[in-house]
Amino acid sequence: MGVRSRNSAIEQFVFDESSVFLLVTDRGGTVRRANSYAQRITGERLVGRNLRDILIGFSPHQDLESVIAQQSTRHVLDITVPGGFPRTFSFRFVDCEEEILVLGEQPNEDNDLLHANLLGLNQEAGNLNRMLQKQNAELERLNELKNRFIGTAAHDLRNPLGAIRNLSEALSRDARAAGRDEEIEILDAVHESSSFMLSLVEDLLSVATIDSGEIRLDFETSDMNELVSSNVKLNQILACERGVELCVRRNELVREVRVDRAKIQQVLNNLISNAIKFSPRDSVVSISVACADEAITLSVEDAGPGIAPEEISKLFKPFSRTSTQATDGGPSTGLGLYIAKRIVDAHGGTIWAESEPGVRTTFHVSLPLAPDS
């Protein structure tokens, strides 16, 4: 290989492989050759394009001859990068008679600054991560403390509240027998309030157990039609009081399912009693069971006032109450649906609600036929 061809090969190698931005243009600034680094940076074919389209704010007709005249001067210019931020290079323009060699290097100080900033950001991210994890641990500790407090308080309140409720009921019976109307009114109010407080305490105990991660499921094979029927029987008294008809659509195809019977009864009881409480007199609450390949779905539909779409997502959060009132205006603990969701979640199932305000609301519970437990 002769000296000329060897130099040419070296030149070609440097042109192709070096990590500097290299262009060869004609005297008017139109690119004749571009090295692979330049192509890679711009992501586009450069040959045939003019420098004014590549270098931001550069006007070849005005600037090119003057910059060629100062060969050793560096010009800091930005390159347009399609779909990205412009990249800054330090350019020199070298006069090669008919052609101009445009040589761009990334300023070292920029790289150093970038490097230092990235390191600083990494440290900052690490420190924030540490702070976040520490605060999470602190929140977990506080949550545990809260659960323990609620659990203890609720447990200690349950027995005296039960006694108040039962005694007020007994006294109310005596008052009725004796026809003491004033006493009946007072004792009924005591009975109603203590019943509500007792249900609140029961719910709080369930929440404390669930939130502390102590929810235990005792799975057993259960007939879902039978579970629904027995729960409907339990709610029949409430339905009669409110003048609501309970209609069960049994599904004989439904297979048996492995669930914690007591906990699923708790879910069913919540959904059915809620549906009764929110139904107008002389309406129907429908309870149905459907079965697909891998899941069984229970649905409870009422003809109550419904739930506004923006309130649906709040339904399963603790202590959340919607603007919808029970038909008799009675109080709600705001915990029942949260507890139901946590029980269904623990079974690997899903609970959701659909509502047409003013027409109907349906709650669905889907449970896997073969839970992971």
Partner 1 sequence: MPPLSTTEYNEYLTNLLRGNRSACTRTVEKLLEHNIPVYELYLGLFQPSLYDVGRLWERNEISVAVEHLATAITESLLTLVYPILFRTERVGKKAVISCVTHEYHQIGAKMAADAFELNGWDSYFLGANTPVSDLIELVDQTQPDIVGLSLAVYSHVPQLNDAIEQLRSTFPGANVLVGGQAFRSDGARMIKRYRGVEYVPSVLELDGMITEATGNGR
What are the residues binding partner 1 (CB under 8 A)?
Answer: 115, 119-120, 122-124, 126-127, 129-131, 133-134, 136-138, 140-141
Nearest approach, Cβ of residue 212 and partner 1 (Å): 15
Our CB check for partner 1 shows the closer of 120 and 309 to be 120
Nearest approach, Cβ of residue 123 and partner 1 (Å): 6
Our CB check for partner 1 shows the closer of 138 and 245 to be 138
Nearest approach, Cβ of residue 106 and partner 1 (Å): 15
Nearest approach, Cβ of residue 108 and partner 1 (Å): 13
Nearest approach, Cβ of residue 132 and partner 1 (Å): 9
Our CB check for partner 1 shows the closer of 59 and 123 to be 123
Residue pair 361/306 in contact (Cβ under 8 Å)? The answer is: yes
Our CB check for partner 1 shows the closer of 86 and 120 to be 120
End-to-end CA distance of the chain: 77
Our CB check for partner 1 shows the closer of 69 and 113 to be 113
Our CB check for partner 1 shows the closer of 28 and 126 to be 126
Residue pair 287/248 in contact (Cβ under 8 Å)? The answer is: yes
Nearest approach, Cβ of residue 195 and partner 1 (Å): 41
